[in-house]
């Protein structure tokens, strides 16, 4: 693993963009993990190049309504809801 | 005088726009959910527009057609191949943590739109226009409702995935009033194309870049050519949250003054994003975490590329407002002002042509542009709201054209009663006795009055000239007061003595 793959500053910046608070220990831990994850991508270099089977273009559907989800199903996975809304923490 | 003071004295405002317009499709851009506004939150949502794992977007053909129409209307290039990209950022209005948009291969490039500002023609360059999806809507709840002080956030994804076209202009505007003229013209064109509804809430959203540069940086008379170095050197602000052409003029006039004041006091203008607060009438500084590179644009592999340049020949667009204005002047001999009024919306222009095809074009212009639009405007009604009654309005014009009713009665009584009480033109004319009485009818009434009043006739024949007045009164009553009393008097005398 190369040391300069990811810097702690980059981790802080990414966390900031994702609106995640990290303490110093976590920054260190994620710096290492980010570098590991990026290293896995190098494995992809070993995959032989293959051509796409067909050159798809213009895949479209007509402008026709399809049934939407029932509200219960739509909100079913949400940890918190209120009056049919997804509920989350304050964001700025 | 030094160069510097000269420069400070002659400052020029430079504005460029990013206009987001909602395309009028039945369904969202990448899924079959309805785009109709719903009273219930999260009512028109599905795995695609909620960004659930494994859901795949499929492009709405209707949105692409609308984009091609816009491309044709602004005379843009539609490249052989165009594609979609992911714009990555984290915010709860974006369920996938990225927005599907078009980055470096937009569907429309290098267009123009001609506008008239204070009687002068200007061509505004449109650098690009691309398709993208709208995010959802957030409500910041508690703590006074401010974004920073709120206690929590409620999220509704009904809007998420609504098709938008982002139209990006060159920095071609020199004043807020030019911006307003452009936006009004753009709205008109989009409505003519049938791809946009200005009445729909949130259908138009504008971000504007404004900077102030020394006039010396503008080359001669050609105000389109600005030294790009000067533009780069001047700090600009991006004003967001503008939602109408009137709002744009106000927001930018405020921002122009704010920047000029800063420069005149020798302070630097910060390069920043500012939020237009419509209710307070000011722009306020807004924090922005992301820089361009933070969006990490990359190709959207779930959507194959589009090859639709050929659609430009296949899809027809109607005659656009500018062309129609010119034709109305040439074909119907209208003034520029009348032609402008009559082409303000496609419905008005269509109705005018319908009326002018059957009656005198000048009479039609007076009726549609002045009388009808005037009365509608006074009542705050759009012509689209009375579409089913336009035949009745036409009938009213016919009554005037055939001289069956006076123009004054038609305008002041019949038209108003039609609009206010929902009455039919012939009904108002008949019931309110507004018809101009024909000669035959007066003569008929004279004969009747003589037959029915032998006493008065006898008095007249015995030399009581005053009796004629009684008979005139009878005729007037029979004709609903619409006959001329002098004529009636003469007719009676002729009849009694003949
Ligand atoms: Zn959906």
Chosen for mutation from A10, A62, A69 (greatest number of chain B CBs closer than 10 Å) is A69
Of the candidates B27, B42, B92, which has its C-beta nearest A65's C-beta?
Answer: B27
Which chain B residue shows the shortest CA-CA distance from A14? B294
Q: Quick check: is B242 in a domain?
A: yes
Task: Specify whether B207 is located in the same domain as B254.
Answer: yes
- Mean pLDDT across the stretch B286-310? 90
CB contact under 8 A, A69 and B45: yes
Task: Report CA torsion sign: B372, B375, B378, B383.
Answer: negative
More confident residue, B190 or B494: B190
Chosen for mutation from B45, B100, B285, B290 (greatest number of chain A CBs closer than 10 Å) is B45
For residue B458, is pLDDT > 60?
yes
Q: Quick check: is B1 in a domain?
A: no
Task: Specify whether B303 is located in the same domain as B357.
Answer: no
For residue B155, the chain A residues in CB contact (below 8 A) are 85-88
Chosen for mutation from A52, A53, A63 (greatest number of chain B CBs closer than 10 Å) is A63
Secondary structure percentages of chain A, helix, strand, coil, to 5 = 40, 10, 50
For residue A66, the chain B residues in CB contact (below 8 A) are 27, 31-33, 46
Q: Quick check: is B65 in a domain?
A: yes
Task: Specify whether B266 is located in the same domain as B366.
Answer: no
Domain around B329: 321-431
Locus of tokens 């609903």 = B480
Task: Specify whether B142 is located in the same domain as B255.
Answer: yes
CB contact under 8 A, A59 and B304: yes
CB contact under 8 A, A68 and B44: yes
Task: Specify whether B125 is located in the same domain as B238.
Answer: yes
Per-residue pLDDT tens digits for B219-259:
554 545 566 677 777 788 999 989 998 999 999 999 999 99
CB contact under 8 A, B153 and A59: no
**pTM of the full structure:** 0.81
Which chain B residue shows the shortest CA-CA distance from A82? B154
Beta carbons of B218 and B190 less than 8 angstroms apart = no
Long-range contacts of B433-437 (CB under 8 A, 24+ apart): B433/B480, B433/B481, B433/B482, B434/B405, B434/B406, B434/B409, B434/B482, B435/B404, B435/B405, B435/B480, B435/B482, B436/B403, B436/B404, B436/B405, B436/B406, B436/B482, B437/B479, B437/B480, B437/B482, B437/B483
The residue among B130, B191, B206 whose CA lies nearest residue B166 is B130
Which residues on adjacent β-strands are paired with residue B114?
A: B123
Per-residue pLDDT tens digits for B83-140:
999 999 989 999 999 999 999 999 999 999 999 888 788 999 999 999 999 999 999 8
Say how many domains are in chain B.
3
Of the candidates B32, B43, B138, which has its C-beta nearest A65's C-beta?
Answer: B32
CB contact under 8 A, B46 and A69: yes
Any idea what the CATH number is for the domain that residue B477 is in? 1.10.10.410
Q: Strand, helix or coil at A89?
A: strand
Which chain B residue shows the shortest CA-CA distance from A62? B61
DSSP state of A27: H
Ligand 1 midpoint to CA B304 (Å): 19
Given B313, B331, B352, the domain boundary residue is: B313
Q: Quick check: is B88 in a domain?
A: yes
Of the candidates B27, B61, B154, which has its C-beta nearest A85's C-beta?
Answer: B154
Interface of A with B (CB under 8 A): 13, 16-19, 56-69, 71, 74-75, 77, 82-92
Q: What is the pLDDT of residue B1?
A: 36
For residue B59, is pLDDT > 70?
yes
Task: Specify whether B37 is located in the same domain as B112.
Answer: yes
Given B398, B431, B464, the domain boundary residue is: B431
Domains identified in chain A and CATH numbers: 8-45 (1.10.20)
CB contact under 8 A, A63 and B45: no
Task: Specify whether B300 is located in the same domain as B325.
Answer: no
Task: Specify whether B73 is located in the same domain as B190.
Answer: yes
Question: How many angstroms away from the CA of B160 is the closest CA of chain A?
Answer: 13
Task: Specify whether B119 is located in the same domain as B181.
Answer: yes
For residue B439, is pLDDT > 80?
no
Task: Specify whether B309 is located in the same domain as B398.
Answer: no
Enter the ipTM. 0.88
- Mean pLDDT across the stretch B213-219? 74
Q: Quick check: is B2 in a domain?
A: no
CB contact under 8 A, B140 and A62: no
Task: Specify whether B183 is located in the same domain as B282.
Answer: yes
C-alpha span between B250 and B277 (Å, rounded): 11
Q: Quick check: is B57 in a domain?
A: yes
Q: What is the pLDDT of residue B188?
A: 93
Q: Quick check: is B3 in a domain?
A: no
- Mean pLDDT across the stretch B471-494? 84
Task: Specify whether B287 is located in the same domain as B334.
Answer: no
CB contact under 8 A, A17 and B294: yes
Given B431, B462, B489, the domain boundary residue is: B431
Ligand 1 midpoint to CA B89 (Å): 20
């Amino acid at each position: 693993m190369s040391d300069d793959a990811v810097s702690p500053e980059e981790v802080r910046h990414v966390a900031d963009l994702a609106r995640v608070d990290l303490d110093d220990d976590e920054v260190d831990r994620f710096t290492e993990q980010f570098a590991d994850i990026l290293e896995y991508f190098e494995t992809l270099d070993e995959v032989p190049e293959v051509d796409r089977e067909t050159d798809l273009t213009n895949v479209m559907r007509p402008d026709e309504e399809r049934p939407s989800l029932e509200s219960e199903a739509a909100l079913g996975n949400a940890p918190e809801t209120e009056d049919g809304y997804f509920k989350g923490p304050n964001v700025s | 005088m030094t160069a510097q003071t000269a420069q400070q004295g002659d400052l020029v405002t430079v504005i460029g726009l990013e206009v987001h317009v909602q395309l009028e499709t039945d369904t969202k851009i990448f899924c079959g959910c309805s785009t109709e506004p719903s009273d219930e939150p999260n009512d028109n949502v599905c795995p695609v527009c909620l960004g659930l794992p494994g859901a795949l977007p499929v492009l709405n053909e209707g949105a692409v057609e609308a984009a091609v129409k816009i491309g044709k209307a602004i005379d843009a290039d539609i490249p052989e191949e165009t594609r979609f990209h992911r714009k990555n950022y984290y915010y709860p209005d974006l369920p996938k943590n990225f927005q599907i948009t078009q980055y470096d291969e937009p569907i429309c490039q290098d267009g123009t739109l001609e506008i008239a500002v204070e009687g002068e023609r200007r061509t505004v360059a449109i650098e690009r226009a691309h398709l993208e999806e709208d995010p959802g809507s957030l409500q910041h709840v508690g703590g006074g409702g401010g974004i920073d002080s709120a206690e929590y956030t409620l999220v509704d994804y009904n809007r998420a995935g609504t098709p938008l076209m982002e139209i990006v202009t060159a920095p071609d505007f020199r004043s807020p009033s030019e911006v307003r003229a452009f936006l009004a013209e753009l709205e008109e064109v989009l409505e003519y194309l049938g791809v946009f509804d200005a009445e729909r809430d949130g259908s138009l959203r504008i971000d504007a870049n404004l900077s102030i540069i020394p006039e010396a940086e503008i080359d001669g008379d050609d105000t389109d050519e600005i030294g790009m170095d000067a533009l780069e050197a001047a700090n600009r602000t991006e004003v967001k949250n503008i939602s109408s052409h009137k709002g744009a003029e106000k927001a930018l006039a405020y921002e122009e003054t704010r920047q000029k004041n800063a420069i005149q006091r020798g302070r630097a203008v910060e390069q920043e994003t500012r939020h237009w607060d419509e209710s307070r009438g000011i722009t306020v500084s807004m924090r922005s975490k992301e820089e361009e590179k933070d969006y990490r644009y990359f190709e959207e592999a779930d959507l194959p590329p589009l090859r639709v340049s050929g659609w430009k020949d296949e899809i027809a667009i109607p005659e656009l407002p500018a062309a129609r204005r010119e034709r109305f002047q040439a074909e119907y001999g209208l003034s520029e002002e009348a032609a402008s009024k009559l082409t303000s919306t496609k419905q008005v222009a269509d109705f005018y042509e319908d009326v002018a095809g059957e009656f005198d074009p000048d009479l039609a212009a007076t009726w549609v542009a002045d009388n009808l639009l005037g009365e509608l405007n006074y009542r705050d009604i759009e012509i689209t709201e009375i579409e089913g009654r336009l035949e009745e309005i036409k009938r009213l014009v016919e009554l005037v054209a055939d001289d069956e009713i006076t123009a004054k009665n038609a305008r002041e009584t019949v038209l108003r009663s039609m609009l206010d009480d929902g009455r039919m033109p012939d009904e108002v004319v008949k019931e309110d006795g507004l018809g101009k009485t024909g000669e035959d009818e007066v003569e008929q009434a004279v004969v009747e009055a003589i037959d029915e009043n032998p006493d008065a006739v006898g008095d007249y024949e015995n030399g009581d000239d005053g009796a004629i007045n009684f008979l005139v009164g009878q005729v007037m009553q029979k004709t609903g007061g619409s006959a001329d009393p002098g004529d009636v008097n003469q007719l009676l005398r002729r009849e009694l003595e003949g």
